[in-house]
Amino acid sequence: MKREEFEDNESLDLLNASGTNILLTTIDDVINWGRKNSLWPLTFATRCCGIEMMAAGAARHDFARFGMEVYRASPRQADVIVVAGTIVHKMAPVLKRLYDEMSEPKYVVAMGACAISGGPFFLNSYSVVKGVEHVIPVDVYVPGCPPRPEALLYGMLQLQRLIETQTIKSRKARNESHDYK
């Protein structure tokens, strides 16, 4: 792939710009290695995608191979929130609160058509939030209705790649650029 095709990969640019500081880069590498290999998801499921998320954690697909070791029931202990399913207007404040309760660093995966855009409920529905990015910032989108467990695994691996490119600086810039208050 050509360099120009990475045009919106701001993290990569930041990484290149601050590439001279050996100490910081080494620290970043170590921190990122730790973060990406122990992503603990929150048990948050609203609709069918939740069942596929469970299937991803169960015997055949085995999430734990890639470091998503256990599902945590408490947002305080979770690193990544997989928004699995439709978010309706009544649920949106709860989702926001769950996101706020999670401690940094936190990541969001929008799983399934409903979380990405409203999906099958995009037209005609009066109560569905048309995309979870209206409520919380999303890192990775996993399309499908519902996505296969393999698709979720691929999405989580993409999230690991994203974490790999982050630095202390870029992380801070990313947090400040999102204003969802």
Partner 1 sequence: MQEKEIITSTDEQQEYVINMGPQHPSTHGVLRLLVSLKGEKVKSVQPHIGYIHSGIEKMCESITYPQIIHLTDRMDYISAHINNEAVCLNVEKALEVDIPDRIKVIRTIMSELTRLQSHQLWWACFGMDLGGLTCFFYGLRDREKILDIFEETCGGRMILSYNCPGGLMYDIHPNFQKRVKEFIKYFRKILPEYDQLLTGNVIFHERSKGIGKLTKEDAISFGVTGPTGRASGFSCDVRKHEPYSAYDRVQFKEILHTEGDTFARYVARIDEMWESMNIIEQLIDNIPEGPFAVKMKPIIKLPEGEYYQRVETARGELGVYIISDGNKNPYRVKFRSPNFSNLSVLNHIASGFKIADLVAIGGSLDLIIPDIDR
Site of interaction with partner 1 (CB under 8 A):
42-48, 50-52, 54-55, 58-60, 71, 73-75, 85-86, 88, 90-91, 94, 97-98, 101, 120-121, 124-128, 145-146, 148
Q: Which two tokens stand for residue 143?
A: 């399309």
Measured distance CA(120)–CA(22) in Å, rounded: 49
Least distance CB 120 / partner 1 (angstroms): 6
Answer yes or no: are the C-beta atoms of 152 and 53 closer than 8 Å. yes
Give me the residues paired with residue 110 across strands. 83, 141
Q: What is the 8-class DSSP label of residue 148?
A: P
Min separation Cβ 156 and partner 1, Å: 18
**Which residue, 146 or 155, has its beta carbon nearer to partner 1?**
146
Find the shortest distance in angstroms from Cβ 65 to partner 1.
14
Beta bridge partners of 142: 111
Q: What is the number of helices (H) and of strands (E) in the chain?
A: 7, 4
Identify which of residues 67 and 144 has a Cβ nearer to partner 1 in the complex.
144
Give Cα 115 to chain centroid, integer Å: 12
Question: Residue 24 or 91: which CB sits closer to partner 1?
Answer: 91
What is the smallest separation between the CB atom of 93 and partner 1, expressed in angstroms?
Answer: 10
Which residue's CB is nearer to partner 1, number 17 or number 58?
58
For 23, 73, 114, 173, 180, the CA distances from 97, given in Å and listed in that order, are 36, 15, 20, 22, 12
Min dist CB 75 to partner 1, Å, is 6
Residue 27 or 145 with smaller CB distance to partner 1:
145
